[in-house]
Amino acid sequence: MATQLPDQHPIQTDAVRSAMEAVYNWNYEPEIDELRTLYANALDRQWIGMKQLDWEQPIDRAAFSDTFSIGGIPIHETEFWKALPLETRWKVAKGSACFLLSNFLHGEQGALMVAGQLVAAVPHTDGKFYAATQTLDEARHVEVFAAYVRKLGEVQPIAPALKQLLDNVLATDDWKKKAVGMQVVTEGLALYSFRDMRNATSEPLLKELLTYVSRDEARHTGYGIKYLSAVVPTLSERERAELEDFAFECARLLIDSRGGTTMRSSVLELWKDAGVDPGDAFQALARERSTIATALQRSGGRRGPIRGFVIPTLKALDLMSERSAAHYDEMFRANFGENFGSIQADTYGLPADLEAWVEEGA
Ligand SMILES: [Fe+2]
Ligand SMILES: [Fe+2]
């Protein structure tokens, strides 16, 4: 008997027109050994989200609220947070997490579609093989994030700036821009944020889920880094500069809150709804700077996902000229104040082994 579709189907869709070339490669021998190895590792490390995580356990509300960190800032260690009524803490933590995890979920759907596009668009067989494994990884991520958000509350709509970013990456016809926009900027930010949240939370199911997902994301980011570091040196100066500009535009959509549409501005709205005035919260947090600094020291310091990860990656890939660095500096100062300093002087490097780095602090 044929499967019955619901009366209304598909239930909710949205679309962006994308045009790209599907590229055949008639050479089936390895050309980029590092990508072939990454593909073999990916095959080795598959997992089944619905079987390997314990979905029967309820969310541990106390653990969830008491170890709630946002954007890597250990708010839960401050007196300000501890003084809030339990009910308010749960409301703020749950609301912010529903929003953030929903956007992770939507981002995973974007990553799923981009990975599928990369199978067709990248010119090397090793790159296609690897992207095929990533496509499966991302399907699993969509599945597990959807299941967790469902347990926590309701899926929230995508933040407009993230939607714009995913649209841009899906729509471009250049696979290198897809790789920079998704694998380097978006997944770099995601990997850093997932790992941060995993290290902070003591909610067992969330911790386990983020550990599994981060391991996959370490490979995804590694793919972008390995592939592009082979390809960027072969580009003309004009192509290289275009790629660099595309990376900046992606980062801008994730960071710049001057348009009022970033995730950060939406989270602050949620705080207001829960009865916490963001202005008061920031003042209180500023007074407790030393508590936060001590907590951060324990977890290895805070540079944030962009400064601590995405920018070092772009520098390593030769996608950060002085011209771009000046744009980043201007944007950071406008969003985070003059004290932010300049990324040009930063000497942060990338972890030598991303997969090992993910295991730290677990
Ligand atoms: Fe993912
Ligand atoms: Fe990914």
Ligand nearest to C-alpha 138: 1
- Which one is predicted more confidently, 298 or 325? 325
Ligand nearest to C-alpha 141: 1
Residue 322 has pLDDT above 70, yes or no: yes
Asked if residue 160 lies in contact with residue 245, where contact means CB atoms within 8 angstroms, the answer is no
Ligand nearest to C-alpha 107: 1
Ligand nearest to C-alpha 108: 1
- Which one is predicted more confidently, 60 or 361? 60
Instruction: Calculate mean pLDDT across residues 202-218.
Output: 96
Residue 349 has pLDDT above 60, yes or no: yes
- Of all residues in the chain, the percent with pLDDT exceeding 70 is 94
Q: Mark residue 361 as left, alpha or beta (left: phi above 0; alpha: psi -120 to 50; beta: remaining).
A: left
Q: How far is the CA of 12 from the centre of ligand 2 (A)?
A: 23
How much is the pLDDT for 314? Answer: 95
* 249-277 burial: b if 16+ Cβ within 10 Å, else e: bbbbbbbbbeeebbbbebbbebbeebebe
Q: How far is the CA of 218 from the centre of ligand 1 (A)?
A: 10
Tens of pLDDT, residue by residue over 99-143, are 989 999 999 999 999 999 999 999 999 999 999 999 999 999 999
Half-sphere exposure (CA, 13 Å, Cβ side) for 113?
Answer: 16
Ligand nearest to C-alpha 104: 1
Residue 285 has pLDDT above 80, yes or no: no
Tens of pLDDT, residue by residue over 147-204, are 999 999 999 999 899 999 999 999 999 999 999 999 999 999 999 889 988 988 999 9
Residue 260 has pLDDT above 70, yes or no: no
- Which protein residues have a CB closer than 5 Å to ligand 1 (ion)? 108, 111, 138, 141
Tokens, residue 311:
């920018």
Instruction: Calculate mean pLDDT across residues 218-240.
Output: 96
Q: How far is the CA of 85 from the centre of ligand 2 (A)?
A: 37
Tens of pLDDT, residue by residue over 30-74, are 999 999 999 999 999 999 999 999 999 999 998 988 887 766 677
Q: How far is the CA of 230 from the centre of ligand 2 (A)?
A: 20
Residue 301 has pLDDT above 60, yes or no: no
Q: Report how far residue 263's alpha carbon sits from residue 161's, in angstroms, rounded to the nearest whole number.
A: 8
Q: How far is the CA of 275 from the centre of ligand 2 (A)?
A: 35
Alpha helices in the chain (DSSP H): 33-44, 49-52, 61-66, 79-83, 86-121, 125-152, 160-171, 175-178, 187-200, 204-231, 237-255, 263-273, 278-287, 289-298, 304-305, 311-316, 322-336, 354-359
Residue 284 has pLDDT above 80, yes or no: no
**pLDDT band with cut points at 50, 70 and 90 for residue 298:** low
Kindly report the average pLDDT of the chain as a whole number: 89
Backbone angles phi, psi at 73, to 5 degrees: -85, 120
**Pick from 77-86, 98-107, 207-216, 292-301: least confident:** 292-301
Instruction: Calculate mean pLDDT across residues 215-238.
Output: 96
Q: How far is the CA of 222 from the centre of ligand 2 (A)?
A: 10
Q: How far is the CA of 141 from the centre of ligand 1 (A)?
A: 5
Tens of pLDDT, residue by residue over 159-171, are 899 999 999 999 9
Q: Within its chain, how far is the Cα of 99 from the centroid?
A: 14
Q: Report how far residue 264's alpha carbon sits from residue 99's, in angstroms, rounded to the nearest whole number.
A: 10
How much is the pLDDT for 243? Answer: 98
Q: How far is the CA of 162 from the centre of ligand 2 (A)?
A: 15
- Which one is predicted more confidently, 135 or 266? 135
How much is the pLDDT for 300? Answer: 52
How much is the pLDDT for 360? Answer: 87
Q: How far is the CA of 214 from the centre of ligand 2 (A)?
A: 8
How much is the pLDDT for 257? Answer: 74
Q: By CB neighbour count within 10 A (0-12 exposed, 13-18 middle, 19+ buried), where does 338 fall?
A: exposed
How much is the pLDDT for 262? Answer: 60
- Which one is predicted more confidently, 255 or 39? 39
Ligand nearest to C-alpha 144: 1
Q: How far is the CA of 138 from the centre of ligand 2 (A)?
A: 6
Q: How far is the CA of 197 from the centre of ligand 1 (A)?
A: 15
Tens of pLDDT, residue by residue over 79-101, are 888 888 888 888 888 988 899 89
